[in-house]
Amino acid sequence: MDSKEHRRHRWCSRRCVIISVAVILGIALLLLILGLTVFRPRHTVTTINSVHLGALRVGLDVPHLSVDLNVTLDLDITATNPNRASFRYDTGNAELFYHGGLVGEAVIPPGRVGAEGSVRTNVSLTVMADRLISDATLYKDVISGSVPFSTNRI
């Protein structure tokens, strides 16, 4: 009788271990599937709603015999978060490039974007127009109807 109870106890222990391992594997598989489909991180979509001329500053740099021309553009931007999780972001800087040369800078204020939500913010972009105008390909790009800018967030 004692060995029969011992075999029965061993069988119950094995069955508990097998069931536990199966449940853990099932949960891991479920989390993997959800992570690759529903909770897959997607890029935030940024839309510029409006652009207004904020300021125009012209200066003369006598030692270098050049003219400094800066234009400040006030941008109304909407950032849409397609993810199922919200996120916060700190103050950042954005840079505007034209053919690899830095032509503008902006300070991005801190904020929070809710899950599958969007947030509107105002950003002032300072364009160093003297650098932009000094590029020989600008005129050709304007005539073609396409001026290729690229951005980088630091």
DSSP reduced 3-state for 5: helix
Measured between its terminal Cα atoms, the distance across the chain in Å is 74
Q: What share of the chain has pLDDT > 90, as a percent? A: 24
Quickly state the pLDDT bin for 92 (edges 50, 70, 90). Answer: confident
Q: pLDDT of 23-75, one tens digit each? A: 999 999 999 998 888 778 888 888 889 988 888 887 777 777 677 778 898 99
DSSP reduced 3-state for 29: helix
Q: What is the pTM of this model?
A: 0.63
Q: pLDDT of 41-55, one tens digit each? A: 888 888 889 988 888
